[in-house]
């Protein structure tokens, strides 16, 4: 009983059974009453009462005294052995009522109606009395509800009622069958979702479920597939990150271990130069660990920020001054393009300096001699929003980034040129950290690049 399809099927069966009993009972009662009314009208037509009343009206021009023509009127007494409802030979009615052409009651010895006129339903059930082609009155009969019917009439009515019950049972069976099909159709996609969820829990992250069933169930299945794809991508990213971390840690550890082994084996002398080499490798290892910790804190939203109004112009000048000698030694022109009246941005000055340091370092690393690096700042152009934002960009004239690499530059450990980046000391985490830092300050970061012409890294911040 805990199965959804079984509960739905039983619900359909119960509804079908109740509907069948209700409809069959009402149809039985209505058919019986209608058939008895038909018999009364037939007997009245055969009895000659209609012709007698029509002749009476034609002779007198009114219905005065017509009450005596109505058979079985109260007080007249039943015919011996042939009273109302007594045997097949008696009249199949309890009493009769006569109304004129306007429906006004002119004779009602049996108190058949309590109103002075016939209702619309009574007029529809009454037999019209026609004289000279126009109705001059109506004769209404009251059929006895429990009077015995003729054998042929009873057989017909029994067959009709049996047909109603048979049709109801067939409809119930059909409804039950359709209910089972619908219930199974609803429950099957849910069962597949449950099996898929169990397989996901067991580690089969490539599990997907087909989109079938009603629209609501298909929506749930589509959401399940999106969730499974996200879990699979997250697991793949986690494994890749672990592999990248192991790979990045292996290089400095190999340098440290190799140099120490060479010193122990007297291949290298125990000198300050060799110790300095080992120390530099340990420093690179420390920087990698610090970057990983900072990135994890930033992604978890636990990195401490001190948001305050920041003057971008002086910040750009300070960061550019740090790279002036390096740019000159590489033959690269380093320039600043920022208006003096720039409004202050809302951010953490130390974290913004960290982002600019990373972007400038990357730009100088990938710009050849004779090129240039430009720091630009200004209000975000074409921004149709209530609150404008401040745009900062670092543009270089280097080799640019290939289109297939462009969507991945802010991912952890991603390098378009792994060998060159590692030789220059990059960990592959700087841009990933920069993205998290800008997003934590309510900004957006992005990159544009044309191969052979250079790259443009930018970020926007809200104004203070």
Mind listing the pLDDT tens digit for each residue in 82-109?
A: 333 434 445 656 678 889 999 899 888 8
For the beta carbon of residue 337, count every other beta carbon within 10 angstroms: 12
243's tokens? 């592999």
What is the rounded distance in angstroms from the CA atom of residue 106 to the CA atom of residue 93?
Answer: 19
pLDDT, average across residues 44-61:
86
Nearest to 103 by CA among 64, 76, 136: 136
- Quick one: fold of 215-299? Helix Hairpins (1.10.287)
Block residue for tokens 């980034």: 401
pLDDT, average across residues 299-304:
78
Domain with CATH 3.30.565.10 in the chain: 308-462
Rounded to the nearest angstrom, the gap between the alpha carbon of residue 428 and the centroid of all alpha carbons in its chain is 40
Return the axis-axis angle of helices 49-60 and 4-47, rounded to nearest 10°: 50
The correct answer on CATH 3.30.565.10 for the domain covering 308-462 is yes
298's tokens? 């930033």
Partners of 131 in the β-ladder:
134
pLDDT tens by residue, 317-357: 999 999 999 999 999 999 999 998 899 999 999 999 999 99
Block residue for tokens 């320039």: 335
Domain with CATH 1.10.287.130 in the chain: 215-299
Model confidence, pTM: 0.51
What is the rounded distance in angstroms from the CA atom of residue 401 to the CA atom of residue 416?
Answer: 8
pLDDT tens by residue, 206-224: 899 988 877 888 888 899 9
């Amino acid at each position: 009983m805990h199965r959804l399809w079984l509960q739905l099927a039983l619900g359909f069966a119960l509804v079908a059974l109740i509907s069948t009993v209700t409809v069959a009972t009402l149809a039985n009662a209505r058919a019986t009453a209608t058939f008895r009314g038909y018999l009364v009208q037939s007997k009245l037509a055969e009895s000659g009462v209609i012709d007698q009343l029509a002749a009476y009206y034609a002779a007198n021009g009114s219905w005065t005294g017509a009450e005596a023509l109505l058979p079985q009127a109260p007080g007249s007494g039943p015919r011996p052995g042939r009273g109302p409802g007594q045997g097949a030979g008696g009249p199949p009615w309890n009493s009769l009522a006569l109304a004129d052409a306007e429906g006004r009651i002119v004779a009602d010895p049996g108190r058949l109606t309590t109103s002075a006129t016939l209702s619309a339903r009574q007029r529809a059930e009454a037999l019209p009395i026609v004289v000279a082609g126009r109705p001059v009155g109506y004769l209404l009969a009251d059929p006895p509800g429990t009077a015995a019917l003729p054998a042929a009439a009873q057989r017909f009515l029994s067959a009709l009622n049996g047909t109603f019950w048979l049709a109801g049972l067939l409809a119930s069976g059909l409804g039950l069958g359709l209910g089972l099909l619908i219930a199974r159709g609803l429950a099957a996609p849910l069962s597949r979702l449950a099996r898929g969820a169990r397989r996901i829990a067991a580690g089969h992250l490539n599990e997907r479920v087909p989109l079938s069933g009603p629209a609501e169930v298909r929506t749930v299945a589509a959401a399940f597939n999106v969730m499974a794809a996200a879990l699979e991508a997250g697991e793949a990213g986690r494994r890749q990150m672990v592999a990248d971390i192991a790979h990045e840690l292996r290089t400095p550890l190999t340098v440290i271990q190799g140099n120490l082994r060479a010193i122990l084996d007297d291949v290298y002398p125990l000198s300050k130069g060799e110790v300095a080499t080992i120390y530099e490798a340990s420093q690179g290892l420390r920087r990698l660990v610090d970057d990983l910790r900072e990135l994890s804190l930033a992604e978890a939203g636990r990195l401490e920020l001190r948001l305050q109004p920041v003057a971008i112009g002086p910040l750009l000048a300070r960061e550019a001054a740090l790279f002036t000698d390096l740019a000159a030694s590489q033959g690269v022109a380093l320039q600043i393009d920022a208006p003096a009246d720039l409004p202050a941005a809302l951010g953490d000055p130390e974290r913004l300096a960290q982002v600019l340091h990373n972007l400038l370092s990357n730009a100088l690393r990938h710009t050849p001699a004779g090129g240039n690096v430009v720091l630009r700042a200004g209000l975000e152009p074409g921004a149709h929003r209530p609150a404008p934002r401040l745009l900062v960009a670092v543009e270089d004239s280097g080799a640019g980034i290939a289109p297939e690499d462009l969507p991945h530059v802010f991912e952890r450990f991603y390098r378009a040129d792994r060998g060159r980046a590692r030789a220059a000391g990059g960990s592959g985490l700087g841009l990933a950290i920069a993205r998290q830092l800008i997003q934590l300050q309510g900004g957006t970061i992005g990159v544009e690049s044309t191969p052979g012409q250079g790259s443009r890294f930018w970020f926007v911040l809200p104004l203070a």
